[in-house]
Each structure stands twice: as C-alpha cells, then as structure tokens.
Amino acid sequence: MQKSILILSLLILSASLCGCGSEVSSQSTFKEKFTIGTIVEDNAQYLIPGPRELFGSEYGPSEPFTQKQEEIVFQIEPVDLPAFFTVIRSGIEESIIGSGASIVGQGSGGVTGTSFSIQYRANEVYGTINVWGGRGEGTTYTLIVLITES
C-alpha cells in the first residue's frame, strides 16, 4: 500500500513538473521552425558566392516573452542590398503565413531603409520579427533577425 502511494505521489509530482502538455505552447510554430538561413539560401543569386556563417541563440523565460536571434554573415555588393532585403522580407512574410499565423502590422526604416519589422499573431501568441544588418569590411554584410513572442 505504501509503495503504491509513493509511486502515485511520484507520478503526480513528475506530471506537475513537466506540465503534461496541458499548457498552451508559449511559442508559435513560426518561431519554432523559422531560420533566416533557408531564406538567404533561397535567394543566393543576390550574393557573392562563398561561405556563409549562421549563428543563433534563444533566450528568455517562457513568461512573459521569449526571444530567438539569428545572425548570418555573407558577401553582397552594396548595389544588390535593397533588392535582397525586398526578397528577404517577402520570404519572411510567406513563412509567417505558411505557419498559420497572420500578419497584423509592419514597419521599416533605418539609415539605409533596409531594416524592417513585422508583427504577427498565431492563436494567443503575439510576435514581432525585427530584421536589420550592418556592413563589414569590403562586401561583408551581417544580417540580424530577432524574433520576440509573448
């Protein structure tokens, strides 16, 4: 009898610690599956051939928000940058909609006019994706993507 109570107590404790899937996901399908690397590779015709480096991290508590950041370093001629950002933006919008989320707002600006943000909603999750970058030495460019969800 005591063994049964101990096992039942351990099961209840482990269920409460793992949440047993009863909680609503704290992130959208879009954020879970998104990577800027795929969109960049799909539009590599704008880039100077060569290696590309992709870095990423995810941080923050699950409440009230989480963030995912990716940076990709590549070579691009300055004249190709506006067209490249246009197709990157379009690719991100398609990725948001393809994940089942809806776009609820947009913005753009920055010194070069290439940075932009897109606000989206996926069920009860609201998110913003900010995209910007910076020129390095020569034709080197670093593209930065930050997704914040709450």
Tokens of residue 35, six digits = 């990577």
Query: What integer pLDDT is reported at residue 22 of this predicted model?
Result: 35
**Element holding 149 (H helix, E strand):** strand 140-149
Instruction: Assess if residue 55 is contained within a domain.
Output: yes
Instruction: Assess if residue 34 is contained within a domain.
Output: yes
pLDDT tens digits, residue range 125-138?
Answer: 999 999 999 999 99
Rounded to an integer, what is the distance from CA 100 to the centroid of its chain? 15
Rounded to 5°, angle at Cα 118 from 53 and 132: 35
Query: What integer pLDDT is reported at residue 31 of this predicted model?
Result: 86
**pTM (predicted TM-score):** 0.77
Query: What integer pLDDT is reported at residue 112 of this predicted model?
Result: 61
Dihedral pair phi/psi, residue 133, rounded to 5°: -165, 180
**Checking DSSP bridges between strand 140-149 and strand 125-135, what pairing results, if any?**
antiparallel
Per-residue pLDDT for 71 more than 80? Answer: yes
CATH code for the domain in which residue 98 is found: 3.30.530
Instruction: Assess if residue 9 is contained within a domain.
Output: no
Instruction: Assess if residue 19 is contained within a domain.
Output: no
Domain count, the chain: 1
What DSSP state is assigned to residue 50? Answer: S
Higher pLDDT, 21 or 134: 134
Instruction: Assess if residue 45 is contained within a domain.
Output: yes
The DSSP bridge partners found for residue 46 are none
Instruction: Assess if residue 100 is contained within a domain.
Output: yes
Stretch 3-11: mean pLDDT, rounded?
37
Stretch 135-143: mean pLDDT, rounded?
94
Mean pLDDT of the chain: 82
Rounded to 5°, angle at Cα 35 from 140 and 89: 70
Cα 92 from Cα 68, distance rounded (Å): 15
Cα 135 from Cα 131, distance rounded (Å): 14
> DSSP characters for 53-104?
EEEEEEES-SSS-EEEEEEEEEE--GGGHHHHHHHHHHHHHHHHHHTT-EEE
Instruction: Assess if residue 4 is contained within a domain.
Output: no
Instruction: Assess if residue 11 is contained within a domain.
Output: no
| Structural domain of 68 | 25-149
Confidence of residue 84 (pLDDT cuts 50, 70, 90): very high
